[in-house]
Amino acid sequence: MTRLAGKVAFVTGAGQGIGRGIALALAGEGAAVALVGRTTAKVDAVAGEIADRGGEAIALGCDVTDRDAVFATVAATVDRFGRLDVIVNNAQSLAPNSRLEDVTPDDAILCWSSGPMATMHCMQAAFPHLRERGGSIVNFGSNTAIEGAQFFGAYAMAKEGIRGLSRVAAREWGRFGIRVNVICPFADSPAALDFNEHHPRAAEAILRNTPLGRIGDCERDIGRAVVALVSDDLDYLTGATLMVDGGLTFLH
């Protein structure tokens, strides 16, 4: 599979869950992948998986809330591979679920700094490289924000901030051939599996309301969707939000 042969992708939160699935899918289509995560051992392990499959990847430890570290990590990626074509901003810290009146400033800052602020850092660091030949940015929203799910106040605020930032970037950077889109996923990430374990009745209700009747697979469903989105097949799509969630949420 070589749809992305010669391309270089930068994936945050790549050490587990959806980020790992995306990285594996991108590498499987021929892209060289920079795996970015706070826990170096985790991204090292994913780099090993990609190498075992015959792909190419580097593991880079980075806290995406640190702007200087993000710029240095993007620079290291370009130094290693000579170019940059795809940015996937998947990393996001979670605050404890709570009613809106109980959300603390620390909860909000945690979600905001690791979500829209970190996404903006990565986009700004990547921009000088992407504008050379165009490219694709994939950011991550959430159906919990679109639907206004209870107990997700800090997280929903951050995720809708990412969607707003993405639409602005799509308008400003389209003239450089840079496409910016958002995916809202429903997949078997560690956070989702933890929720299912602790809230089985709620998890069953969610599945009943999912038309395709299953939770998505991080690599097969979300990773392959990202591959399609950053490939030439969808090179006329920008500023869009794609609900890759088995039909759980419909945008109106």
Question: Rounded to the nearest 5 degrees, what angle is found at the Cα of 244, between the Cα atoms of 239 and 247?
Answer: 115
Nearest to 62 by CA among 90, 85, 82, 84: 90
Catalytic machinery residues: 155
CA distance 93 to 76: 24
User: Which DSSP state fits 128?
Assistant: H
Distance CA 108, CA 120 (A): 17
The closest alpha carbon to 16, from 167, 194, 135, 149, belongs to 194
Residue 31 in contact with residue 231, Cβ under 8 Å?
A: no
DSSP per residue, 225-240: HHHHHHSGGGTT--S-
